[in-house]
Amino acid sequence: MKKMNVRIQRFDPHQDEKPHYQTYLVEVNEGARVLHVLHAIHDEIDPTLSYRWCCGSGQCGSCAVRVNGEPVLACMEEARDGMTIEPLKLPVKKDLIVDLEPALEALSHLEPGDKPAMPSKEEVELIKPLRSCIECLACVSVCPAMDVTSFAGPTAMRQNLRLALDPRDSKDRVTDAVSKGLFTCTSCQACWKVCPKDIQLPGKAIEKLRSLANRKGLTLPRHQEVEKLVRETGRSVTRTEPTFMEQVGEVIEPYGPVKATVGFFVGCMYNQRLPQTALDAMEVLRRNGIRVIIPKEQVCCGSPLIRTGQWDYLDTLKRRNIDAFVFRNIDTVLTMCAGCGSTLKNDYRTPFRVLDINELLTKYGIEPPARLPLKATYHDPCHLMRGQGIRDLPRELITQVVDLVEMPAICCGSGGGVRSGVPEEAAALAEKRREEIEKTGADIVVSSCPFCEFHIMEHTDRPVKNITTLLLEGYREKDKKKAEKAV
Amino acid sequence: MRSAEVLDCHVLVVGSGGAGVRAAIEASGYGETVLVSKTLTGKGGCTTMAEGGYNAVLREQDSCEIHFEDTMKGGAYLNDPDLVRILVDEAPKRIDDLLQWGAVFDVTDCCEVAQRPFGGQRFPRTCYAGDRTGHEMMATLVERLAGTDVDVMNEVCALDLLKDGDRVLGAVGLTEKDELVAIRADSTVLATGGGTRIYDISTNSSSGTGDGFAIGYRAGAELIDMEMVQFHPTGAVYPYDARGRLITEAVRGEGGVLKNSLGERFMNRYDPERMELSTRDVVSRAIATEILEGRCTGHGGVYLDVTHLPRQQIEEKLPVMLEQFLKFGVDIREEPMEVAPTAHHMMGGHRITENGETTISGLYACGEVAGGVHGANRLGGNALADTQVFGKRAGEAAGKSGKKSGRIDQRAMDAQEARLSAFFDGEVVPSTVARSLRTAMWEGAGIFRTAKELEKTLGVINHLSSLRLKASGRSNLAECCILQNMLTTASLVVKGALIRKESRGAHVRKDVTQTWDPQTSPYGHSYQSLTQSGIETGVKA
């Protein structure tokens, strides 16, 4: 047996005006789950504690709660000393019990045709991964889009796709999905990361549904324009000034000895809209011994088309990009756009290694920059934190230059084609970002994704800087101090 | 005083597992139907946890006759042959319903529903959706239910049946807001599932508390074979607080082997012919014996090993098992599981006719709360089939039964009020009583039984039943009522075990020596009601 302290959010609508926290010291056996801690409290200490559970083995989805802020199934998550247990972010009925019924009732159900044809083995294999959903609604509880716009939510989309793929169903689930907000998903992947069944909702459900919508001609006009632009120019955005690639040669040599050589996948945003940021990054790489090769025939990675379900032209883009690096025998490709990095890592099969710039810089180590007297907050790009699992590395770099104040990691609203397709939603999400930025009292906002940077810039009065620009400013400060000393 | 809401309907279904939802779907074709669920429909009950599969004769090489024989033999010939005949004949039709409604079972390359071997069966006739078969069925049923007019009342705990003379006229429940609700119904279907949560080690979900046995018994219905409790051979032993969690028979169906701490495949000492795929009663006793004789693992179980199987087979056919064990720190592709028997299924229950009618008018029962289908030991894969076959029959019969007059007796409602109010003045919290009950049942009415131990256990149950249960708040009222149901169910199990002075199927009386085998047993069903109890006798043909 072992003892642990836990803190639990309590709320009784009959008595309390608002939720409060209560701390308990409980005794459980080795390997106990969160659910067993709740049982122990209920059975031994406080019978009034209310929580929902049924199967106790991860199959019914009744007991999802938040542990230290993260949604988990209480019956499967190992209990830890000092944990805080709260209800999912859904309407609370009592203590840890939330109202699941409205979202469950809103799910579409199969409506068989007159002579339903059984699905083939291939169709069964497609449907099965979507079918393992236990409807715990952890995904619904974390979806940022549902907070600001009319969106039926991740699992409703999963269910619509499951029905769309089933020949026994007689209804048009794709059009229905569009009307339920299919194009409001920002691809932030929060839903996937909390799914106890690891259902890849944005990639396997929402993007797939969007591709089916594309075949029905339901793609949003703004998204169609992006596709047209990619086909015509190889780029998903127009240029507003001389591009990054026009300003550099094919090889950028470092100032000192070469620690590593990488190919640089620039991405549309840094090439066409934010070339100065990419130039800043090159300067940081030069100071840190990284030799950079920039194949000029590279094109858009295809992410804007993948996220919006326009898949016809993808293979061409993929082949051109892969060839551009393979022809130069490049074994490591650098990305500094979180979206491109996530796409190359997850949607491509590349014969080379792909490294985000945060990985590259921490892998080879950087020359220490000078500290700047600023307080910064960091915005986690969804495609870096969730798409590539990179959370700590940017913080390691940032804290070498400035003090860091954390804020909750929430989508800024720019992804998934939402900025172009549903601008009012993108603005509403950015407004929530602005509020969080305000709360931190930070002087600057740092991020590591051109879409996030560009979008947040429009919604905050604080300067928004790429992580490499911040590093470069640290180096310039260092150079300045050195020069002053010399004088 | 709480004000009791009164609802009126044609058919009331109590219970939201596979049988209850199937009954409600069927009944809704005949009139207004209300489904009362203690949990959220689709999440509670044990169907959704059922992993392995659904037995149905689908291939030319198989036959209903063989399925019938396997089921009777597996059930130690205590099954009602007429009910078994219906089960095997209609299981294929009912799986067809599920397929029409969108169920996604695994299929073969020829697009037929795939089947795997299960214990005690001479043909691989267990249909499956990976190892989440029950979940797939519930998902399908809940979707279908959503397409009907059934009025679903979630998180309402049925407290008792309401009666008009000898006839059942609905039920009284406690809503999630802790208010009484009376539901007047022409017909009432009990589909509350089983009750092995009366044991310390059990596979059952939170709802497996025997409510339907107790509620029906209090209303005067007769229950049979309540001593027949199936101990599933393979329950988890670690983590201790999650002990009893089901490890599906599909693990053995896919080729998993059992070994003791000496590395011996001990099943060759107990059933060399069928080995790990012997019937559950045999395998459970074998494992229990190995453990009792000291050949057990560190956590007090035996090994269940699939490491010799191709990794892909484990990943595709046993994904839930793989995922669960990984969560608990064991990669079953690399190392064996540790398992021990766990209380799993109640073969006994309400005595029913072919249409699910119980022994009292206006009351039907289906699924695990009904008895007679599985005899003294249930075959793996027959329970899911049972839910669909008899759920449909009970729902249909209840739906077809006529309109009935009769009003709810206010005195019955007042009595419920009084029952609830008394809990506020009680002395002992239900969880304390539940723990004592579970321990006593596991020790005294488990796999191996003697009259002496059973009497002692009955003494404990009687003592616990005399305690005044205490509700610390409104939210504990349902808990108190449920605990009373558990005590009643436990007492029925123990009394049944005392009545049956023979070893048969899952019921082993170590203090009885007998000269007969199951087929020639002089005994039939044990039976218990408020007015009579005993055992049917007469040597069978």
- The tens digit of pLDDT for each residue in A41-56 reads 999 999 999 999 999 9
- The tens digit of pLDDT for each residue in A389-429 reads 999 999 999 999 999 999 999 999 999 999 999 999 999 99
Residues of B in contact with A170 (CB under 8 A): none
Question: Residue B508: pLDDT above 70?
Answer: yes
Distance CA B525, CA B225 (A): 6
Options B125, B144, B243, B252, the catalytic residue: B252
Residues of A in contact with B105 (CB under 8 A): 124
Residues of A in contact with B206 (CB under 8 A): 53-56
Q: Can you give the pTM of this predicted structure?
A: 0.94
- The tens digit of pLDDT for each residue in A98-130 reads 999 999 999 999 999 888 888 999 999 999 999
CB atoms A124 and B104 under 8 Å: yes
Average pLDDT, chain A: 96
Nearest-neighbour CA in chain B from A390: distance (Å): 23
Distance CA B237, CA B428 (A): 30
Decide if the complex's ipTM is over 0.90: yes
CB atoms A31 and B476 under 8 Å: no
Question: Residue B1: pLDDT above 60?
Answer: no
CB atoms B39 and A75 under 8 Å: no
Query: Which among A31, A39, A116 has CB closest to B238?
Result: A31
- Do B503 and B512 touch, CB atoms closer than 8 A? yes
Residues of A in contact with B44 (CB under 8 A): 54, 60, 62
Lowest-confidence segment of A317-321, B32-36, B266-270, B322-326 by average pLDDT: B322-326
**Local structure of A343: helix, strand or coil:** helix
Nearest to B530 by CA among B208, B160, B184, B215: B215
Nearest-neighbour CA in chain B from A179: distance (Å): 21
Q: In chain B, whose CA is at the least distance from the CA of A63? A: B43
Query: Which among B143, B205, B323 has CB closest to A110?
Result: B143
Q: In chain B, whose CA is at the least distance from the CA of A59? A: B49
Question: Residue A65: pLDDT above 50?
Answer: yes
Confidence (pLDDT) at B3: 55
In angstroms, what CA-CA distances link B199 with A296, A317, B37, B437, B441? 71, 62, 23, 8, 6
Question: Residue B155: pLDDT above 70?
Answer: yes
pLDDT above 90 coverage of chain A, percent: 97
Average pLDDT, chain B: 95
Nearest-neighbour CA in chain A from B104: distance (Å): 7
Contacts of B353 (CB under 8 A, 6+ apart): none
Contacts of A337 (CB under 8 A, 6+ apart): A265, A266, A267, A269, A270, A449, A450, A451
User: What sign does the CA torsion over A237, A240, A242, A244 have?
Assistant: negative
Confidence (pLDDT) at A117: 85
Distance CA B340, CA B299 (A): 9
Query: Which among B49, B100, B327 has CB closest to A59?
Result: B49
Confidence (pLDDT) at B405: 85
Looking at residue B378, the DSSP 8-state letter turns out to be P
Tell how far CA B37 is from the center of its chain. 16
Confidence (pLDDT) at A115: 82
Contacts of B459 (CB under 8 A, 6+ apart): none
CB atoms B102 and A53 under 8 Å: no
Nearest to B355 by CA among B401, B395, B394, B402: B394
CB atoms A127 and B39 under 8 Å: no
Cis peptide before A275 (omega within 30 of 0): no
Residues of B in contact with A33 (CB under 8 A): 239, 241-242
User: What sign does the CA torsion over B368, B373, B376, B380 have?
Assistant: negative
CB atoms A134 and B135 under 8 Å: yes
Question: Residue B4: pLDDT above 80?
Answer: no
- The tens digit of pLDDT for each residue in B72-125 reads 999 999 999 999 999 999 999 999 999 999 999 999 988 899 999 999 999 999
Q: In chain A, whose CA is at the least distance from the CA of B327? A: A76
Nearest-neighbour CA in chain A from B474: distance (Å): 8
- The tens digit of pLDDT for each residue in B184-196 reads 999 999 999 999 9
Q: Which two tokens stand for residue B188?
A: 């009432």
Nearest to B279 by CA among B204, B368, B203, B376: B376
CB atoms A59 and B319 under 8 Å: no
Distance CA A223, CA A227 (A): 6
Residues of B in contact with A109 (CB under 8 A): 142-144, 146-147
B308 annotated active-site: no
CB atoms B472 and A48 under 8 Å: yes
Distance CA A467, CA A393 (A): 11
Q: In the 3-class helix/strand/coil scheme, how is B417-470 assigned residue by residue? A: HHHHHHHCCCCECHHHHHHHHHHHHHHHCCCEECHHHHHHHHHHHHHHHHCCEC
In one-letter notation, the amino acid at residue B118 is F
Q: Which two tokens stand for residue A343?
A: 């796409």
Options B22, B67, B116, B232, the catalytic residue: B232
Helix B81-100 to helix B64-74 angle (10° resolution) is 120
Nearest-neighbour CA in chain A from B11: distance (Å): 22
Query: Which among B101, B327, B430 has CB closest to A110?
Result: B101
Distance CA B385, CA A400 (A): 64
- The tens digit of pLDDT for each residue in B239-264 reads 999 999 999 999 999 999 999 999 99
Rg (CA), chain A: 25
Distance CA A465, CA A423 (A): 22
B252 annotated active-site: yes
Q: Which two tokens stand for residue B50?
A: 């059922």
Distance CA A327, CA A323 (A): 6
Query: Which among A31, A47, A53 has CB closest to B429?
Result: A47
Q: Which two tokens stand for residue B390?
A: 């008899």
Confidence (pLDDT) at A113: 87
Number of CB atoms found within 10 A of residue A363's CB: 12
| Average pLDDT of the segment spanning B453-467 | 98
Query: Which among A55, A110, A128 has CB closest to B48?
Result: A55
Confidence (pLDDT) at A114: 85
Confidence (pLDDT) at A128: 92
Nearest-neighbour CA in chain B from A186: distance (Å): 28
Distance CA A161, CA B311 (A): 29
Q: Which helix (H) or strand (E) holds B152?
A: strand B151-153
Nearest-neighbour CA in chain A from B370: distance (Å): 21
In one-letter notation, the amino acid at residue B20 is G
CB atoms B111 and A55 under 8 Å: no
CB atoms A54 and B39 under 8 Å: yes
Residues of A in contact with B436 (CB under 8 A): none
In one-letter notation, the amino acid at residue B316 is E
Question: Residue A152: pLDDT above 70?
Answer: yes
In angstroms, what CA-CA distances link A261 with A256, A264, A285, A291, A299? 13, 10, 10, 5, 21
Tell how far CA A391 is from the center of its chain. 11
Question: Residue B536: pLDDT above 70?
Answer: yes
Residues of B in contact with A75 (CB under 8 A): 242
Confidence (pLDDT) at B541: 39
Per-residue pLDDT band for B407 (boundaries 50, 70, 90) equals: confident
CB atoms A44 and B431 under 8 Å: yes
Q: Which two tokens stand for residue A172?
A: 């048009």
- The tens digit of pLDDT for each residue in B117-153 reads 999 999 999 999 998 999 999 999 999 999 999 999 9
In one-letter notation, the amino acid at residue A456 is I
Residues of A in contact with B432 (CB under 8 A): 43
Query: Which among A42, A57, A109 has CB closest to B143?
Result: A109
